[in-house]
Amino acid sequence: MQLTHIDETGQAAMVDVANKAVTIREAKAQAIVKMQANTLALICQNQLKKGDVLAVARIAGIQAAKKTADLIPLCHPLALSKVAVEFNVDELNSTIQINSYCKLAGQTGVEMEALTAVSVASLTMIDMCKAVDQAMTVDSLCVTYKTGGQRGTYQRSNEELVNE
């Protein structure tokens, strides 16, 4: 398979999507933020000095998806019709799973926007909590679903989704 962002001389190049059909394109991504149990409790009880961690992380993720083309070289600026960021708290494992969903009618996919949303939401959580938990980590960053375009639908299997 040939890489699409490399031209015939081996140089990085933005893909020309002008002749591609406009289709509905959707993507979902996830990241898992691991933390100490007391940090998770502070987040859930909205007791951190910097404010409501989940609300701020949600807005940061949505904003990040809209700015993906400014952050990732060679990404096309996209007119997103929907961006959502949601959280699943797992008290047993002291983790928060962040899930994003991006949608548009366009000529190129939205996987990078979905990944950027969960990435920046994760980083925002760490920034807001670093005063109480410097050991927080981000794991399992991945696309979980995509549809639209020439390659059709992709669904990550449950075996590939690891919540350690």
Q: How many residues does the chain have?
A: 164
Q: What is the pLDDT of residues 111-128, one digit of tens each?
A: 999 999 999 999 999 999
CA 133 to chain centre: 22
DSSP string, 133-152: -TT-EEEEEEEEEEE-STT-
Q: What is the mean pLDDT of residues 25-40?
A: 98
DSSP 8-state code for residue 7? -
d(CA 121, CA 3): 29
The per-residue pLDDT for 1 is 57
Question: What is the assigned CATH class of domain 23-155?
Answer: alpha beta
Q: Residue 18: pLDDT above 50?
A: yes
- Count of alpha carbons within 13 angstroms of residue 161, beta-carbon side: 15
What is the per-residue pLDDT for 138?
98
Q: How far is CA 54 from CA 98, 101, 164, in A?
A: 10, 16, 21
β-sheet with 154-155: strand ranges across: 82-90, 95-106, 23-34, 137-147, 154-155
Using one digit for the tens of pLDDT, what is the confidence trace for 123-147?
A: 999 999 999 999 999 999 999 999 9
Amino acid at site 35: M
Q: Is the pLDDT of residue 6 over 70?
A: yes
Which band of pLDDT confidence, cut at 50, 70 and 90, is reported for residue 149?
confident
Catalytic residues: 127
**pTM of the model as a whole:** 0.91
Instruction: Write down the domain spans for the chain.
Output: 23-155
Across residues 9-28, what is the average pLDDT? Answer: 87
How confident is the model at residue 163, as a pLDDT? 44
Going by pLDDT thresholds of 50, 70 and 90, the confidence category of residue 82 is: very high
- Between CA 95 and CA 34 the distance in angstroms is 5
Which residues on neighbouring strands pair with residue 29, listed in sequence order? 100, 143
Confidence of residue 11 (pLDDT cuts 50, 70, 90): confident
